[in-house]
Amino acid sequence: MIQKQLGVGSIGKDRKDSVQFRVTSIKELSVIMDHFSKYPLLTQKRADYELFNCIVDLMKSQQHLSLDGLKKIVSLKAAMNNGLSEKLKAAFPDVVPVQRPLVEPPVPLLVDPH
């Protein structure tokens, strides 16, 4: 249903009991990014999205092709999810994670009990 709604991506079997939704191009990824820009995440996962969005912008501007641009991407990745893998830490030992954006919880709507 997600694939049909977004009009991009493919579905593939990941393991015996799970499947994976994949996009394989910046063009397809832009559709996903547009969706999350229009309908923002409400949890701390939004911080990961914002950092990932910065990475995509760096890639769109071809900055990932230079060592400085790659270091920027690794610095952003270091602040996301579980941080850097041991392999990336070894390859970029001096990387300093960027500050993770703070996501404020949404203000609950006040409902009139009457």
Mean pLDDT of the chain: 90
Query: What residue ranges define each of the domains in the chain, with the CATH number in brackets?
Result: 24-100 (3.10.28.10)
% of the chain surpassing 70 pLDDT: 92
Apex 62 CA angle, 59 and 67, nearest 5: 95
Amino acid at 78: A
Coil, strand or helix at 55: helix
The pLDDT tens digits of the residues spanning 15-71 come to 888 999 999 998 999 999 999 999 988 888 999 999 999 999 999 999 999 999 999
What distance in Å separates the CA atoms of residue 98 and residue 18, rounded to the nearest whole number?
Answer: 33
